[in-house]
Every structure is written in C-alpha cells, then in structure tokens.
Structure 1
Amino acid sequence: MLKDVPITIPALLAAFLWRIGLTWVLTFCETALIALIPLFIGFAIDGLLTKDTTALFQLVAAMAVLIAISVIRRAYDTRVFGTVRVEVGKAQAARIPDLPVSKLNARLAMGREMVDFLENDLPLVMAALVQLIISIIVLFAFDSVLALAGAGAVVTMLLIYALFHRQFYRLNGHLNQQAERQVGILETRKPQRLLLHLSRLRSVEVRLSDTESILYGAIFVVLLGLVVFNLWYATTSLPITSGTIFSIVSYSWEFVESALALPVTLQGWSRLSEITKRINSAK
C-alpha cells in the first residue's frame, strides 16, 4: 500500500481513505452530539420549570445515541489504526534495511507516532473545530458580541502559537536525534555513556515542557478572559432565563475546552513535520 511513496500523512490518508473516512464520520457525529448536549440541557431546565418534560426526553434520547456512537467508534478505531501501524512499520523496514539498528528502532517508533496523530490528534482537532463552530453559532444566536469575543480569542491564541512553532520544531529535532542513538548506546554497556544520553534526553524534555508551560499559560489567560467577559456581558446586558444563562456559560466553557485542543494539535504537527522529514531519509 505504501510502496515507492514517501511515508507522509497525505500518503497514509490516500492508502486508507475509506477506512479512516468512516472513523471521521463517526467522530463528527459524536462531536456534534456532545456539542449540542448543553443546549438540550438548557431547554430541559426551562421545560421542567414550566412542568413540561418534552425537552427532558429529547435530552435522554440524544445521550443514548451519543453513547452508542461513542462505543462503536472506539472499537472500530482500534482495528483500523492497528492495521495502519503494521503497514507503516513494514514499509519502513523494507526501505531502509541497511540502517543501523539504533536508528531503525527509533524511526519505527516515530512511524507509529504518525499513526497516533491520525488516530488521536487529527480527530481531536476535527472535534475541536466542530465544537468551536457550534459554540460560536449558539453564542451568536444569543448575542453577536458573545460570538465576536470568541472569534477574537481564537485569533489571539493562534498568533500566540505562531511565536512558538520554530522552537517546538527545533527541540523535537534534538529529541528525535538523541532517541536514534539509544540502542547503540545501550549496546556499548558503558554506564557513563548511558547516563550522558539520559541526561541529554531529560534536558530536551525539560526545555520542551518549559516552552509548553509558557504557551499554555498565555493561552489560558486569553480563554479564561473570554469566559469572564461572556458571563459579565450576558448577566448585565441581556434579558435571559436560567436555562439561557446556563447555556451561555456552558458554551463559553466548551469553547475554551475545544480551543485548547488546537495548540495541542499544532504542537503535534510541529513534531510530526520533523518526524516526516527524518523517517523518509535514507541516512
């Protein structure tokens, strides 16, 4: 399936299009239902306050469908992406049979990371985008100012991440390069060399963690500011019911949770860019 083509995300998608496509459809349905649950809860609250249980039964039905789709998707995903991992590993081993064992071992693990990105990170960003869009639509339905505040927060967040992309790419390159040496270092049976290797890994991991901490701290400030603003604006400027204020707060917080998935995925893409270049190299 992957013969004579570079091992990249587009190549994997082309080779397993229909199988991966079905997981995306299930992910989309699951995410859309999750995103609509707070709205159903808000309707149910307003309905129960007037002794009307129709919205409550609609909420129960939506949650039942959500559970069924979630179970089916997870069982299917494991089988599909397990097959993709086998094909990627087989293609890697066939292309670079003369590569030192240390590098081949590390690159097989990196190849699995590419599949992990397809299985975990890419559906995560798809789900996040669906939730962001639904959240903005719902907030806009309540008041355009709430939606504009959310859109402004996303733009600010992406600009913040752009400042960190090069740093993530560079540090992941150092981490992967050191990982390729591990088996060879273990084969020497020299404690000092192993200690130096582990210390270097730790140093890069600490720098990656510090960079992540600064990034997420800055993003959290922006997103929590959004929640505070929307709560203040809704309670001081809009004529609302208890169910409506619950929905506004819920969708503002859901917006925050889904927005946080974007930098996680972008960071994964930074690492994946370096991995893709490395595993398609013959050296």
Structure 2
Amino acid sequence: MLNGQHMFDKERIWKGIRKRLDSERVTLRSVLLEFKWKLSFVLILILVESAIELLIPLFIGFAIDSAINGSYIGALQLGALGVLIILIGGGRRFFDSRIYAKIYRRLGNAMLLKIDGNRSSIKTARLGMINEIVEFLENSLPILVSTIIGMIGVVIIIASLNLNVFYVGLVATFLVFLIYFLTSNRTTNLNSAYNNEFEKQVDVITTNDSTLLASHLKNMMKWNIKLSDLEVFNFSMSWLVLMAFLVLSIVFSVSTGNVAYGALFSLIIYVFQYIECIIALPVFYQNWLRLKEIKGRLEKL
C-alpha cells in the first residue's frame, strides 16, 4: 500500500515537472505557430473582407447609373455585395473569437506556471497584459489590415490623378513615420515604467494601506499622463506635416492647368482619405511597441 502511494506521489511529481518544462517552452511565437493555419485562414478572411469593402463606392456608382437608366440591377448587385460582407465578416468574427480564446488560455496557463510562489499581483497584471495581446490580434489587427489595404488603394488612385501630389504624399508619410520612430525608445521606456507599477497593484490593494494606495494610483497616472503627453506631441507634429500635404495638394492640382472642379474635388477627397490612413497607422505602431515590451516581459520569466 505504501509502495503504491509512493509510486502515485512520484508519478504526480513527474507530471508536475513535465508540465512545468512544457510551460517553459511556451512563448507568444510558439503559440502563434501552433495556431498558424487557423490564424492564416482568419487573415485571408480579413483580406477578402477589406477588399470587398473597397468595392462598395464603385458599386454605389453602378447602382446610381443603373437606377438613372431605369434598372435595379445595380442596386441588387450592391445589396448582394453587402450580404457577402456580412457573411464573411460575421463568419470571421465567429471563428476568430474562439481561436483567440484558446490562445489566451494557452498563454495564461503557461505564464501562471512560470511565476514561482504566491506572486498574485504579478500574475494578475500579466494576465491583463496577455489579454491586451489577444485584444490586439482580435480587434485591432483587422482594422490595421483594412487601413493598409485602403491606403494602398487610395495611393494608386492619387498617383493616377496627379503624380506631383503622389510624390508629396510619400514625403509626408516618411516624415510622419520618422516622428514616431524617433520617439519609439521613449514610448517603450514609459510603457515599461507603467507596467512595472501595474504589477504592484494587487499587492498594494491587499495591504489596505491608504497611503500606499494613493501613492500607487498617483504613479500609475503619472506614467499614463507622460504617455499621453508624448502622443499629443507626436499627433500635433504629424498633423502639421499632413496639413502642409493637404495645402500643397490643392496648389499642385490647380497649377497643372485646366482642371475640372469635379476631378479636383475627387482628388482632395482621396488626399483626405489618405491622411486619415496615415494618421491611424502610427497608433498601431505605438500599440505594437507596447505589446513588444509586454512580450519581452512575459518571456523573461
């Protein structure tokens, strides 16, 4: 009986050791590779959905022309396109939410096993950070892909309408990304300081010490404000560059000679759409910097 109990305890210990070793090998990269085919399928659905969305303005034009000629074929085609977007977009969201839930559980379990002792504050904070990664993959990544596809489409249209405006747009894009690149180290350092303080949160709350709690909240907001101030600076400098791009676009468009008002209006609308894409992309870049810091933090254990 004792030998049987001893063997049972030994087997349980070895299972624990193997489970621990398995968790040590789990990283964000390894988990994403584990789900690579399912994630690739999700990415294909995102690309198809984004491409179809680009066709909506074109099909609206077809529907209008068709209606003017007394036909409803264009309207039916537009409706069919809308139904297709619903089916693909809804199916993608139904499918990917389950994949990302599995990724969260996989990373969460591995992370909890890696952290020794009763370090509840760090464990709670790290689970929150893993959730940020999963949220980015599930919600922000589709928007990022759609923005990039939209930007490429608009760039092609602008180049076909006016090459000078196209060249100015490339310069403006370079300057905006340069602004965010030059402040990337500061962004990473501020996120690191914020996450260091965030990992203390549960421990501070459980002490029931009002002084410690007040100090903790003050520090959290201090780093949050510094991040916000840096974003204000980056955003303001970027808008200066992009507004100069918008003004120069009008100047170059008019200076080319006789330009129809409709064509000029279309070009400026496309320029403004391009500006919206450019101003959105650095936000994703900043999110990536934060997630990169979190990834390094999770893999240090």
What TM-score does the superposition give when structure 1 sets the normalisation length? 0.86
Determine if contact 1:30/1:69 at 8 Å carries over to the other structure.
yes
Q: Matches of 2:89 and 2:210 in 1, distance apart?
A: 48
Instruction: Provide structure 2 residue ranges, at least 5 long, that are not aligned to the other structure.
Output: 1-21
Of 186, 189, 210, 2:208 maps to 189
Over 3 Å counting, the alpha-carbon distance change for 1:250 and 1:72 in structure 2 is: farther
Query: Which amino acid counterpart does residue 166 of structure 2 have in structure 1?
Result: A
Q: Does residue 260 in structure 1 map to residue 282 in structure 2?
A: no
Distance 1:48 1:233, change over 3 A: farther
User: How far did residue 191 of structure 1 move?
Assistant: 0.5
Q: Is the 8 A contact 1:186 1:194 kept in 2?
A: yes
Identity %: 29
Which residue number in structure 1 is paired with residue 290 of structure 2? Answer: 271
- The whole-number CA distance in structure 1 between the counterparts of 2:61 and 2:241 is 26
- Is residue 141 of structure 2 the alignment partner of residue 122 of structure 1? yes
1:5-44 map, 5 Å: 5-8=25-28, 10-41=29-60
User: How far off its partner does 1:217 sit?
Assistant: 1.4
Note closer, same or farther for the CA distance 1:114–1:228 as it changes in structure 2 (3 Å cut).
same
Q: Secondary structure at the match of 1:98?
A: coil
Letter in 1 for 2:101: G
**Greater C-alpha Rg:** 2
- Does the 8 Å CA contact 1:35/1:135 hold for their aligned counterparts? no
* More deviation, 105-114/10-19: 10-19
Q: Distance in 1 between matches of 2:124 and 2:191?
A: 17
1:133 aligns with 2:168: no
For 2:117, the equivalent position in structure 1 comes to 98
Q: What is residue 69 of structure 1 aligned with on the other side?
A: 88
| Contact 1:230-1:249 at 8 Å conserved across structures | yes
Classify 1:140/1:92 alpha carbon distance in 2 versus 1 (closer, same or farther; 3 Å): same
CA contact (8 A) 2:24 2:110 kept: no
Whole-angstrom distance in 2 between the partners of 1:17 and 1:213: 37
Letter in 1 for 2:179: I
Report what 1:80 is aligned to.
99
The partner residue of 2:299 within 276, 280, 283 is 280
State the match for 1:203 in structure 2: 222
Q: Secondary structure in 2 aligned to 1:186?
A: helix
- SS of the residue corresponding to residue 102 of structure 1 reads helix
CA distance in 2, matches of 1:36, 1:152: 28
With over 3 angstroms needed to count, the CA separation of the structure-2 counterparts of 1:55 and 1:143, relative to structure 1, is: farther
Give the alignment's Cα RMSD to 1 decimal: 2.8
Larger mean Cα displacement after TM superposition, 76-85 or 185-194: 76-85
User: Would the alpha carbon gap of residues 232 and 74 (structure 1) be closer, same or farther in structure 2, given more than 3 Å must change?
Assistant: farther
User: How far apart in 2 are the matches of 1:218 and 1:52?
Assistant: 51
Deviation at 1:254, TM superposition (A): 2.3
Query: What is the Cα deviation at residue 144 of structure 1?
Result: 1.9
Matched length = 279
Taking the aligned partners of 2:169 and 2:46, their CA distance within structure 1 comes to 23
Structure 1 residue 183, shift from structure 2 partner: 0.9
Larger relative contact order, structure 1 or 2 (CA cutoff 8 Å, min sep 6): 1
In structure 2, distance between residues paired with 1:42 and 1:224: 29
| Rounded Cα–Cα distance in structure 2 between residues aligned with 1:12 and 1:260 | 31
Separation in 2, partners of 1:116, 1:15: 18
Distance 1:50 1:233 in 2: 35
Q: Describe the superposition over 1:81-136 as per-residue Cα deviations: whole angstroms up to 9, x where unpaired.
A: 12211111111112224261111111111112122222233333322221111111
Write the letter of the residue equivalent to 2:177. L
Give the alignment partner of residue 156 of structure 1, picking from 175, 190, 209.
175
Q: Provide closer, same or farther for how the CA distance between residues 35 and 182 of structure 1 changes in structure 2, counting only shifts above 3 A.
A: same
Give the unaligned 5+ runs of structure 1.
none
Q: Which residue of structure 2 lines up, in the alignment, with residue 144 of structure 1? A: 163
